[in-house]
Amino acid sequence: MRPTGIFPATRMRRMRRDEFSRRLMRESRLSTDDLIYPVFVLEGNNITQAVPSMPGVSRVSLDNLLRVAEEAVSLGVPALALFPVIEASGKTPGAEEAWNPDGLVPRVVQALKARFPELGVITDVALDPYTSHGQDGLIDPEDPRGYVLNDETLEALAKQALCHAQAGADVVAPSDMMDGRVARIRAELDGDGRIYTRILAYAAKYASSFYGPFRDAVGSAGNLGKGNKYTYQMDPANSDEAIREVALDIAEGADMFMVKPGMPYLDIVRRVKAELQVPTYVYQVSGEYAMLQAAAANGWLSHEACMMESLLAFKRAGADGILTYYALEAARVLKGQA
């Protein structure tokens, strides 16, 4: 510990006495530049479906999403992260719809980039919205364990990422946690001349119990059933393993690195940023959002204050950017429009 003065010569409260001095010594700051807004998109026109387990969040059709994007641009939010809600008819064991160039995600990407070229568009690269079994990868139908195949899944993910990049996605974000997927995707993109398509790797994605409302939102919960993702997502008990995972994704060519979930894993955010010094992102996941919303709805917490405090905590831990369902609301607060 650094040498420090002692009371009464040193009074820590002196700098806390007035707003001006509190501002002058503030170490971490949150701005709209830090926010990424995850959105759920589905087929159809003029559709808005509330997600019951995520109060304030809805699934929307493309026409309504364009209005959401317009607000994001007006508030200065840099990017949207797209998560598709795929109809049951589009779900198969092999997830072939994931790389359909005429599918939902490519069409949404094209429309967003045509209308708002300055808005960053991030696409999720994972198979769970498209698989009839709800897993993030392919499964041997003869395997009674239903073990997700790694190398076979890489080929599907590479096709999916290239499909999104060809549609105009600025960033592809593999969230599957297969070994070697960043290198395989980078090779696929570079082979097609897509050298400027960024990869946001969900590098330290834990097998968390905080994802439940998200799976409700995209419609994968029913397909997954009583299954789990313990064989590919990380054990919540591990920290050193997260550093290895991020280091591997650095070596494989990722540009940005995600820790997920957020609040229960602030120690991982801090370690990644401090030890590896790479662009570090964090996802305030659906369960975190739902807990805050429920507590605020019951009057147990101050909604706005706790929302902003939770986001500031990610910045304090070292995050460069935050995926949060509060992005638009927080941006309004930051711009004095709340």
Q: Is 260 a catalytic residue?
A: yes
| Rounded CA separation 144/258 (Å) | 32
Measure Cα distances from 324 to 12, 20, 48 in Å: 34, 29, 19
| Rounded CA separation 317/30 (Å) | 12
| Rounded CA separation 320/258 (Å) | 10
Helices within the chain (DSSP H only): 19-24, 62-75, 104-115, 150-167, 181-191, 212-218, 221-224, 240-252, 266-271, 286-297, 303-317, 327-334
Query: Which residues are bridge partners to 124 per DSSP?
Result: 173
SS3 of 100, please? Answer: coil
Measure Cα distances from 37 to 215, 319, 323, 325 in Å: 17, 15, 6, 6
Paired tokens of 35:
């926010």
Q: Within 10 Å of residue 286's Cβ, how many Cβ atoms?
A: 24
Report CA 69 to chain centroid distance, whole Å. 17
Q: Is 141 exposed, middle or buried (0-12, 13-18, 19+ CB in 10 A)?
A: exposed
Q: Is 159 a catalytic residue?
A: no
Paired tokens of 25:
């010594």
Considering only CA atoms, which of 109, 52, 79, 49 is closest in space to residue 327?
Answer: 79
SS3 of 114, please? Answer: helix
- Residue in 91, 159, 205, 315 annotated catalytic: 205
The four Cα atoms 82, 134, 255, 252 give a dihedral, to 10 degrees, of -160
Q: Which residues are catalytic?
A: 205, 260
